[in-house]
């Protein structure tokens, strides 16, 4: 009996959680994404300024960049892909919501 | 037929369409693997790629695809009778709509988060991407014209609406300040700004406020300034243009984003209230005819019905949102069906509600026509919604103003983002040749002048048809891409090829019809200067879209017949 009640409670909790996530997706998720995007852009630019020589743009003397290297190594592959990824206008389409 | 029976039919379509057909295709043909790393996880960079749970993405996807399209299309389409409109909404979603949204999403996931532009380049031909850009630019221009027309020339000409719209804008700006500058709790921000917005809408219905706007709009018999453009049209449209200008040039966090947030609550509460009112009232269709006639003001049922209802059945824009936006955020491949397919079926339900506002809210065909009919579809919705809201105690006068503000703000939140997009697009496309276009004000003003031309010159039903045709052609091409991708993966693709062929043939027929009727008008002796410009513009756009589509179809068929290794090289 107790386990049945527990199961029902657990299902209700999951349903409430899903409804909350759905509401979040429709309301403030965009705000969060925009802020994450802005931070990501700044980080991408920072790595370009400090480690531009990885893609052939020598900017800072290696001494300073070497001190930053341990912090940049974990993101280097994603950074290179993100920076060099081919883009076109359809990339922006995802930013226009509710158009139709 | 009773409205409850229509709702039950809609619910059954969701159960069978999503629960049986879509799941069968997903499980037996696409076979998503939950253990496979998605681009959101592999390439997470916090900019384009970042994983989110499927519930969050379901809300995000639904919000991204559902706006004025599923409301306007069915209300215009009931001019052929209620049965053709209802059948296309349900069967369109069942066999085509979800296939495109889900297909574009899972294709994006399996192709490392590539956009439709990159996929066109790789799967069809290098020029396919450029042609897609042409489609997108015309599509955006037409959407600006269509929504600008509906809002500036219909909704804003009601003196009880403009102040409500201004209230939403002011509260949106306040919400942005409270959140980002004053760091106020989001719940408090929401309560304060949404309640004040409702107060603003109520103030807009008071005589002293409506008298001010009535004087600005030229009174009940607004004077004609030129052609069929009245003072009310000019004032209403210029308010829209001012709103879009600010949305395009101001930082997104201070204007566009918080206004979108406030409008979400205004719209959601209106829809919820309308559904409750409908369920309490449970009206029938009265004498609304099952079928009126094959040819109406919008043209013949085939092909025009299928481009009149785009969103709510199938819409090409969804493929761009699904691939460029949502596919890069999926945590698991198995989330593509509930997010892409599920959101499309939910949009179908939204379209059914809009369909009911036209068919049951006025007691029959005469009531629908008195409310404005196909020529003032958004006016029909706001009055129909007010009738539903009346059953939960909302006074009709407030209900109509609320419904009008609800639709106005829904259109404007899209239009401001479209102008932003057009500004970026024109800077990218012609910025090197014309450096002035890189200036945000110049780019915005050019986009808005083009919008004004479309709004003031082209009649509403014509521009809606042209917009629908551009949208549906994009859908046909997205389905063609999905078919090519399925073939490349060695999977059965008839479930995408047949819808693609149907959409391409139907839309090309509609474009040929649009081109023919508009050029034929030029030969009529009574045509005005305004009519001549409108016909030339729409006819020329139709011809450009036909030519662009023909090139894409030729390349697409060649790609279908080519062996895999002979496909276009990878883009660098």
ipTM: 0.88
Decide if A97 and B53 are in contact by the 8 Å CB cutoff: no
Closest-approach residue (CA) in chain A for B187: A28
Q: What is the CATH number of the domain that holds B217?
A: 1.20.1730
pLDDT in tens, chain B (572 residues): 889 999 999 999 999 999 999 999 999 999 999 999 999 999 888 778 889 999 999 998 998 888 888 999 999 999 999 999 999 999 999 999 999 999 999 999 999 888 888 899 999 998 888 888 888 888 888 989 999 998 998 888 889 999 999 999 999 999 999 999 999 999 999 999 999 999 999 999 999 999 999 999 988 888 988 888 899 999 999 999 999 999 989 988 889 889 989 989 999 999 999 999 999 999 998 889 999 999 999 999 999 999 999 989 999 989 988 988 899 999 999 999 999 999 999 999 999 999 999 999 998 899 999 988 888 888 899 999 999 999 999 999 899 999 999 888 888 888 888 888 888 888 877 888 899 998 999 999 999 999 999 999 998 889 999 999 999 999 999 999 999 999 999 999 999 999 999 999 999 999 999 999 999 999 888 888 888 999 999 999 999 999 999 998 899 888 888 776 555 555 54
Closest-approach residue (CA) in chain B for A31: B257
Segments forming the whole domain that contains residue B548: 3-565
Choose the closest CB to B46 out of A17, A31, A39: A39
Distance between CA atoms of residues A35 and A41, nearest Å: 10
Choose the closest CB to A31 out of B58, B68, B257: B257
Chain A residues 18-37 with a CB less than 8 Å from chain B: 18-19, 21-31, 33-34, 36-37
> Could you tell me whether strands B299-300 and B295-296 are parallel, antiparallel, or unpaired per DSSP bridges?
antiparallel
Question: How close B540 comes to chain A (CA, Å)?
Answer: 23
Q: What are residue B47's DSSP bridge partners?
A: none
Q: What are residue B226's DSSP bridge partners?
A: B229
Q: How many CB atoms lie within 10 A of CB B520?
A: 11
Distance between CA atoms of residues B59 and B54, nearest Å: 9
CA distances from B280 to B4, B276, B320, B390, B393 (A): 10, 6, 38, 10, 11
Site of tokens 């509609």: B510
Distance between CA atoms of residues B157 and B152, nearest Å: 7
- Pairs of residues, one from chain A and one from chain B, whose beta carbons lie less than 8 Å apart: 170
Residue B414: list chain A partners with CB under 8 A. 96-99
Q: Where are the alpha helices (DSSP H) in B180-255?
A: 186-205, 207-217, 231-249
Distance between CA atoms of residues B189 and B85, nearest Å: 41
Task: Tell me, yes or no, if A63 comes closer than 8 A to chain B by beta carbon.
Answer: no
Please give the helix or strand (H or E) that residue B504 lies within, else none. helix B494-521
Residue at B282 is within a domain: yes
Query: For residue A97, is the peptide bond before it cis, meaning its omega torsion is within 30 degrees of 0?
Result: no
Residue at B341 is within a domain: yes
Q: Which long-range contacts (CB under 8 A, 24 or more apart) does B278-282 make?
A: B278/B3, B278/B353, B278/B356, B278/B360, B278/B388, B278/B391, B279/B4, B280/B391, B280/B392, B281/B3, B281/B388, B281/B391, B282/B2, B282/B3, B282/B4
Residue at B405 is within a domain: yes
Residue at B572 is within a domain: no
Residue B326: list chain A partners with CB under 8 A. 94
Choose the closest CB to A100 out of B260, B310, B325: B310
Closest-approach residue (CA) in chain A for B65: A98
Strand, helix or coil for residue B32: coil
Residue at B206 is within a domain: yes
Distance between CA atoms of residues B382 and B431, nearest Å: 41
Decide if B320 and A90 are in contact by the 8 Å CB cutoff: yes
Choose the closest CB to B133 out of A89, A97, A98: A89
Distance between CA atoms of residues B329 and B323, nearest Å: 10
Residue at B402 is within a domain: yes
Distance between CA atoms of residues B159 and B231, nearest Å: 13
Residue at B571 is within a domain: no
Question: pTM for this structure?
Answer: 0.92
Residue at B570 is within a domain: no
CA distances from A41 to A44, B130, B241, B243, B356 (A): 5, 27, 31, 28, 46
Give the count of domains, chain B: 1
Closest-approach residue (CA) in chain A for B116: A90
Phi and psi angles of residue B67, each rounded to the nearest 5 degrees, phi first: -150, -125
């Amino acid at each position: 009996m107790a386990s049945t009640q527990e199961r029902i409670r657990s299902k209700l909790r999951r349903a409430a959680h899903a409804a909350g996530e759905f509401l979040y997706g429709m309301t403030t998720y965009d705000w969060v994404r925009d802020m994450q995007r802005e931070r990501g852009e700044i980080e991408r630019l920072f790595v370009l300024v400090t480690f531009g020589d990885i893609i052939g743009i020598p900017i800072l003397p290696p001494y300073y960049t070497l001190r930053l290297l341990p912090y940049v190594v974990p993101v280097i592959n994603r950074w290179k892909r993100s920076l060099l990824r081919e883009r076109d206008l359809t990339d922006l389409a995802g930013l226009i919501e509710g158009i139709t | 037929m009773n409205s409850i029976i229509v709702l039950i039919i809609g619910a059954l379509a969701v159960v069978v369409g999503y629960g049986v057909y879509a799941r069968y295709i997903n499980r037996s043909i696409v076979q998503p693997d939950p253990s496979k790393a998605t681009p959101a996880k592999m390439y997470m960079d916090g900019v384009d790629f970042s994983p989110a749970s499927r519930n969050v993405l379901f809300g995000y996807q639904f919000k991204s695809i559902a706006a004025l399209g599923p409301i306007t299309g069915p209300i215009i389409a009931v001019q052929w009778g209620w049965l053709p409109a209802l059948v296309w909404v349900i069967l369109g979603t069942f066999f085509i709509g979800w296939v495109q949204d889900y297909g574009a999403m899972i294709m994006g996931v399996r192709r490392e988060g590539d956009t439709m532009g990159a996929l066109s380049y790789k799967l069809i031909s290098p020029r396919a991407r450029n042609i897609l850009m042409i489609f997108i630019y015309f599509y955006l221009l037409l959407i600006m014209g269509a929504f600008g027309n509906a809002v500036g020339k219909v909704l804003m000409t009601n003196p009880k609406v403009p102040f409500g719209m201004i209230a939403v804008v002011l509260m949106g700006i306040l919400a942005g300040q409270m959140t980002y500058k004053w760091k106020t709790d989001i719940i408090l921000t929401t309560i304060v700004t949404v309640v004040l917005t409702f107060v603003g809408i109520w103030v807009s219905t008071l005589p002293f406020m409506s008298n001010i706007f009535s004087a600005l709009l030229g009174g009940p018999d607004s004077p004609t300034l030129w052609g069929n453009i009245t003072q009310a049209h000019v004032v209403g449209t210029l308010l829209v243009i001012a709103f879009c200008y600010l949305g395009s040039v101001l930082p997104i966090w201070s204007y566009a984003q918080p206004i979108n947030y406030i409008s979400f609550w205004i719209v959601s509460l209106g829809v919820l209230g309308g559904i409750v009112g409908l369920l309490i009232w449970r009206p029938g269709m009265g004498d609304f005819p099952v079928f009126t006639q094959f040819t109406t003001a919008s043209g013949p049922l085939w092909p025009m019905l299928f481009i009149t209802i785009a969103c709510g059945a199938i819409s090409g824009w969804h493929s761009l949102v699904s691939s460029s936006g949502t596919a890069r955020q999926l945590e698991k491949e198995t989330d593509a069906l509930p997010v892409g397919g599920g959101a499309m079926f939910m949009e179908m339900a939204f379209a059914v509600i809009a369909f009911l506002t036209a068919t049951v809210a006025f007691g029959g065909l005469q009531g629908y026509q008195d409310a404005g009919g196909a020529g003032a579809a958004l006016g029909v919705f706001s009055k129909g919604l007010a009738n539903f809201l009346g059953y939960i105690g909302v006074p009709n006068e407030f209900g109509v103003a609320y419904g009008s503000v609800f639709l106005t703000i829904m259109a404007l939140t899209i239009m401001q983002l479209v102008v932003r997009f057009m500004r970026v697009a024109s800077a990218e496309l012609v910025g090197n040749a014309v450096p002035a276009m890189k200036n945000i004000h110049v780019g915005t003003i050019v986009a808005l002048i083009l919008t004004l031309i479309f709004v003031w010159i082209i009649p509403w039903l014509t521009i809606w048809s042209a917009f629908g045709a551009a949208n549906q052609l994009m859908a046909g091409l997205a389905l063609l891409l999905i078919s090519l991708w399925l073939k490349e993966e060695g999977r059965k693709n008839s479930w995408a090829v047949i819808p693609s062929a149907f959409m391409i043939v139907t839309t090309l027929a509609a474009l040929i019809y649009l081109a023919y009727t508009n050029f034929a008008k030029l030969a009529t002796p009574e045509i005005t200067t305004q009519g001549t410009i409108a016909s030339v513009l729409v006819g020329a756009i139709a011809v450009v879209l036909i030519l662009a589509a023909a090139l894409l179809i030729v390349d697409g068929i060649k790609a279908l017949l080519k062996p895999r290794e002979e496909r276009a090289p990878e883009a660098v």
